[in-house]
Amino acid sequence: MARALEFTITHRLEGALARTGVIETPHGRIETPAFIPVGTKATLKSLTPEQLESTGAQAVLANAYHLYLRPGPQIIDNAGGLGAFMNWPRPTFTDSGGFQVMSLGAGFKKVIDMDGHDPDYKTKKEKLAHIDNDGVTFKSHLDGSYHRFTPEISMQIQHGIGADITFAFDELTTLYHDYNYQVESLEHRTHPWAVRSLAEHQRLNAERSHRPPQALFGVIQGANYEDLRRKSAQFLGAMDFDGYGLGGALEKSRIGEITRWMCEELPEDRPRHMLGISEPDDIFDCIENGADTFDCVSPARVGRNGALYTRHGRINIQRQEFKEDYRPFDETCDCYTCTHYSRAYLSHLFRAKELLANTLATIHNERFIVKLVDDIRASIADGSFFEFKEAFLHDYYSK
């Protein structure tokens, strides 16, 4: 059987783990580093696939949990897989569903500023999901019905959905879990579940040979602990995964360091996907330390709230002074929104709660982050990464 995924490294940055490369999938190439927008329910909210493509997005990531509940993987499978179902001809990813089934409580933000602490996280979590060493039982957010995910079930769902790149089922822990819990989670759940995910994935790829082969990324956990992160990366790195997910909650101030621990241990010739980040400082830190791709709902979500990215940070388009400002939102931006509409018009659409507001803001924000990562890729290739990082972050955070 043909490999589901080929990864070629094209440049390496001196003095760091950053690299550029090309991932080849049955549905086309992804030049890395790359930002992968999220189409949670097989649609990037408020955009057509053509509008998404206009942002430069090379792939899209959908959520196995949401698609499992509605419309169900069988319907997507019958449609010819996720890309055919949603009219997106380029590469696709799905996550394992683990994040969603376990994160419907408190304390599960991907990147956490550790100033606060939510003492209720355990009880909240227990109400919504019960984790044992075989899998997770959880309540549907749609109708309260009970469901169960195991590594095998997650892989069966992800094969039904049929994305090019899938993720192993893992336990999502939080920073509020102590060291002993993290050790137990790796030994009794995340690592054995990775073994089971890979076996079921290989069985399904063989069984479903009428479909393009799918790739599987193992997901590394270990929270903020260096020994656990390294051990997890070694364990999963020795297995026959097509790539790796850098998972779990982590402290924002340490995101680069933690990424480095994992990437130093992982085989160099496999792509690495950092799950759920999109803030510019996080993106630079993760790429510098060896991450190749990222996904996040945030650019679209904050855009729908009127918060648009600029080189000098996010600005809310509903500011009073934009009502009579006839300039493009960002004169330096090449997106459809900035090349066709004024601040006054965007401001009007948001104030009038018009649906087109969502579309135009989402296009701009996705383009901004995709373009930022494109520029980072170019800066790795020509060796200017550190200068570009310093200049960009200076402008972005000095507003």
Residue from 99, 345, 368, 392 in contact with a copy of itself (CB under 8 A): 345
Out of 170, 242, 295, 330, the active site residue is 295
Residues 316-335 binding a copy of itself (CB under 8 A) are: 323-324, 326
The residue range among 30-38, 187-195, 254-262, 347-355 that interacts with a copy of itself, by the rule CB under 8 A, is 347-355
Q: From the CB of 332, what's the least distance to a copy of itself, in Å?
A: 20
HSE of 161, CA atoms in CB hemisphere, 13 A: 36
Q: What is the DSSP letter of 189?
A: I
Could you give the string, one character per residue 201-240, with x where binding to a copy of itself holds by CB under 8 A and - elsewhere?
----------------------------------------
Residue from 185, 347, 365, 379 in contact with a copy of itself (CB under 8 A): 347
Q: Taking the C-alpha atoms of 154, 156, 161 and 166 in order, what is their torsion angle to the nearest 10 degrees?
A: 60
HSE of 269, CA atoms in CB hemisphere, 13 A: 5
Distance CA 201, CA 166 (A): 9
3-state secondary structure of 179: helix
Q: From the CB of 165, what's the least distance to a copy of itself, in Å?
A: 21
346 binds a copy of itself (CB under 8 A): no
Strands 136-139 and 146-149: antiparallel
CA dist 350 → 217, 223, 248, 298, 307 (Å):
39, 39, 35, 18, 11
Pick between residue 127 and residue 323 the one whose CB is nearest to a copy of itself.
Answer: 323
Strand partners, 8: 22
Whether 295 is catalytic: yes
Q: What is the DSSP letter of 290?
A: T
- Residue 159's CB is within 10 A of a number of other CB atoms, namely 24
Q: From the CB of 263, what's the least distance to a copy of itself, in Å?
A: 36
20 binds a copy of itself (CB under 8 A): no
355 binds a copy of itself (CB under 8 A): yes
The residue range among 144-152, 175-183, 277-285, 344-352 that interacts with a copy of itself, by the rule CB under 8 A, is 344-352
Residues 45-64 binding a copy of itself (CB under 8 A) are: 45-48, 51
Closest by CA position to 37, among listed 47, 24, 25 = 47
341 binds a copy of itself (CB under 8 A): yes
Residue from 17, 57, 60, 86 in contact with a copy of itself (CB under 8 A): 86
301 binds a copy of itself (CB under 8 A): no
If 0-12 CB within 10 Å is exposed, 13-18 middle and 19+ buried, where does residue 14 land? exposed
342 binds a copy of itself (CB under 8 A): yes
Residue from 7, 85, 138, 176 in contact with a copy of itself (CB under 8 A): 85
Whether 143 is catalytic: no
Residue from 11, 130, 348, 371 in contact with a copy of itself (CB under 8 A): 348
Q: What is the DSSP letter of 38?
A: B
What are the phi and psi torsion angles at 36 (to 5°)? -110, 105
Q: From the CB of 342, what's the least distance to a copy of itself, in Å?
A: 6
Long-range contacts of 255-261 (CB under 8 A, 24+ apart): 255/111, 255/282, 255/285, 255/286, 256/285, 256/286, 256/288, 256/289, 257/289, 258/224, 258/226, 258/229, 259/285, 259/286, 259/289, 259/290, 259/291, 260/17, 260/289, 260/290, 261/226, 261/229, 261/230, 261/233
The residue range among 11-19, 197-205, 234-242, 351-359 that interacts with a copy of itself, by the rule CB under 8 A, is 351-359
Out of 77, 95, 164, 285, the active site residue is 95
Q: Which residues bind a copy of itself (CB under 8 A)?
A: 41-43, 45-48, 51, 66, 70-71, 75, 78-79, 85-87, 323-324, 326, 336, 340-342, 344-345, 347-349, 351-352, 354-356, 358-359
Catalytic residues: 95, 295
